[in-house]
Amino acid sequence: MDSVNLETLRQAVAWQAAGLPVTLATVVRTWGSSPRPEGALLAICGDGRLAGSVSGGCIEDDLSDRLRTQWLERPELVTYGITADQTRRFQLPCGGSLSLVLEPLHAGSRLAETLARIERGELLARRLSLATGAVELLDSVPDTAVVFDGSRLTAAFGPRWRMLIVGAGQLSAYLAQFALALDYRVTLSEPREEYRASWTLPGVEITTEMPDDAVAAMRPDRRSVILAAAHDPKLDDLALIDALHSDAFYIGAVGSRATSAARRERLRLFDLGDAQIARLHAPAGLPLGSRTPPEIALAIVADLTARRNGTSLTAAVARPATESAACPLARAA
């Protein structure tokens, strides 16, 4: 499962390779409750086909109709929802509005090169000049999805966030699928050969190193997530000890409340203070009453997404009597 933007880029490159005219639309500014975030992409083929999304559909329809009758010669900035009439016409929620850069693709757009580098796991920025349509590819990447100064659009591509999952298994596979869809670069640490043999999900880097070595090799930073899901304390704790000494954004472990309490007591034996142990999310994820592997993965990824967006949902969700985001096999622990 790939991210929406990656699928959009793939389709745009395919249309361009087939000799079809293509316009790439990028959301560069939003106000109010806009339907899609900055950085969202829409590819518009000359025959009217669309890939990606910048709204619930009305803006897409308007852009498709517009470009069928008036093809662009160079990039252009357009804004939707700035008037009450536009808000009603394009069904933008709560009076929201957004600005888009429309870019007619050409031989010098370097979109195929951009896509190839993303698929190699690289992180890069693509800078577009609105005056000339010229494109540069940069190794220096902005912290935000897009930077737009009115004349140049710089968009970040590739996995700006990284996730290390300890332990292969059904839950880890669902976690990895969700993470890949959200533009994480995912690495699986699994030294156990019998567990690696059952892993079939593409797009995930697999390391056979012990989890503590995998954490050290990752060099976790504020865009790193480390999740212990091996259900084996000898592996999970190794990763957590090193992770809790790092700058990782989110450190989580799967297990019941009893398992999590026992884990915290073990970690105190390894030169970890109260402040460090308090950073551990265990049981990981929002309290959704999750029981199946996909539900548990959803709870964890929902918590990650809320925290990435600066939103805390745990206070708004009352923890049910059943365990949340706990390993079903570990409830008796």
pLDDT tens digits along 198-248: 999 998 999 999 999 999 999 999 889 999 999 999 999 999 999 999 999
> DSSP H helical segments within 244-325, as ranges?
257-267, 274-277, 293-308
User: Which amino acid, 318?
Assistant: A
Crossing angle between the packed helical segments 170-181 and 293-308, to the nearest 10 degrees: 40
- Which helix (H) or strand (E) segment holds residue 207: the answer is strand 205-207
Q: What share of the chain is helix, strand, coil (3-state, %, to 5)?
A: 35, 25, 40
Residues of the chain with pLDDT below 50 are 1, 94, 319-333
Q: Residue 59: its pLDDT value, please? A: 87
Q: Which two tokens stand for residue 244?
A: 């809790």
Residue 152: CB partners within 8 Å, gap ≥ 6? 127, 128, 129, 130
Q: Residue 113: its pLDDT value, please? A: 97
- Which helix (H) or strand (E) segment holds residue 28: the answer is strand 22-31
Nearest to 209 by CA among 185, 188, 231: 188
Q: Residue 326: its pLDDT value, please? A: 41
Residue 219: CB partners within 8 Å, gap ≥ 6? none
Give SS3 for 226: strand
Q: What is the pLDDT of residues 277-320, one digit of tens each?
A: 999 999 999 999 998 999 999 999 999 999 988 886 655 555 44
Q: Residue 238: its pLDDT value, please? A: 95
**8 Å CB contact between 252 and 226:** yes
Beta pairing partners, 80: 98
What structural domains and CATH numbers belong to the chain? Answer: 4-157 (no CATH), 161-330 (3.40.50.720)
- Which helix (H) or strand (E) segment holds residue 127: the answer is strand 124-129
State residue 137 phi and psi, 5-degree precision. Answer: -110, 130
Q: Is 96 left (phi over 0), alpha (psi -120 to 50) or beta?
A: beta
Q: Is 179 left (phi over 0), alpha (psi -120 to 50) or beta?
A: alpha
**8 Å CB contact between 281 and 252:** yes
Residue 199 CB neighbour total at 10 angstroms: 16
User: Which amino acid, 206?
Assistant: I
**8 Å CB contact between 259 and 324:** no
Residue 130: CB partners within 8 Å, gap ≥ 6? 74, 75, 76, 77, 101, 150, 151, 152, 153
